[in-house]
Amino acid sequence: MKRIFVIGTAVALTLFGILAQAVELIHWERLPLTVPLVIGQERVIFVDEDVRVGVPSTLTGKLRVQSTGGTLYLRASEAIAPTRLQLQSGATGEIILLDIAATPGDQPLEPVRILKNAQVQATEAESSTVPAPERIPIPVALTRYAAQSLYASLRTVESLPGVRRIPLKLRTELPTLLPTENVSSRPIAAWRLGNYWVTAVKLRNRGSETLQLDPRRLQAKLFAAAFQHAFLGRVGSAEDTTIAYLITRGAGLEQAMMLPPVARGPGDEG
């Protein structure tokens, strides 16, 4: 199969940097919050208030937990099956539930900030006082907007003048996108800004081993690409799914995909 993958290297590195440095916002609405961990990598959780952490005895020697000044630091030294932690507010006694699981991986996951309903308005007011960032390339801004639209509350998504969500023309499985990996891939949303399109494609590992994601294995004519996470956990784990952000120029993803070969019958010529 001929590879027609094209990527703007500088843009791709910038995209990876933005996604890696982003803070994932999750809202506590009395439902357990899923927080994946990478073995050997510390993950930072901003709670914005002093908390006491309840850790099951089964995690003794497996998980290092430090809490100071409203910030929680978790570091797993070995694999951890899905396990629940309890965070108790030192001021109000309210309990927040975290479901953690630790799997192997090369890249650390982004920090997490836990927001309660009362904190959302404060977060919005805080962000409105920050000076506007320097102009960044459209593909970078578009990818960041798509990531925030999918992972953050709509009330915390940064505005991007001129962007618009567009209907998907590809709605089914994309078997030619990652043909060398045992991964399902399905478009879930798309946006356009100027002459650039970004399509969010949900990737899910169908295998029993952790899979490192490499944009060079994508089979499509792309301007740039980035993954929300650097790896996929084994099927059935909390980390078996992520999002690929595929940037195309001049047309949507449907014009960039390789078509699967057409099966020919015994009487066909050619």
Residue that is written with structure tokens 């081993």 in the block: 209
- Domain made up of 29-115: CATH architecture: Sandwich (2.60)
Q: b vs e for 174-190, b when ≥16 Cβ sit within 10 Å of the residue's Cβ?
A: bebbbeebebbbebebb
Domain boundaries defined on the chain: 9-15+140-255, 29-115
pLDDT in tens, 218-240: 998 888 888 888 889 999 988 89
Q: What is the pTM of this model?
A: 0.53
The angle at the Cα of 95, spanning 90 to 96, to the nearest 5 degrees, equals: 115
| pLDDT level of residue 8 (50, 70, 90 thresholds) | very low
Q: What average pLDDT does the segment 36-50 reach?
A: 88
The pLDDT mean for the chain works out to: 80
Residue 150 in contact with residue 200, Cβ under 8 Å? yes
Q: What percent of the chain has pLDDT over 70?
A: 77
- 114-133 burial: b if 16+ Cβ within 10 Å, else e: bbbeebeeebeeeeeeeeee
Determine the average pLDDT of the residues in 141-168.
83
* H/E run at residue 198: strand 196-205
- Asked whether residue 119 carries a pLDDT value surpassing 80, the answer given is no
pLDDT of 127 over the 50 cut: no
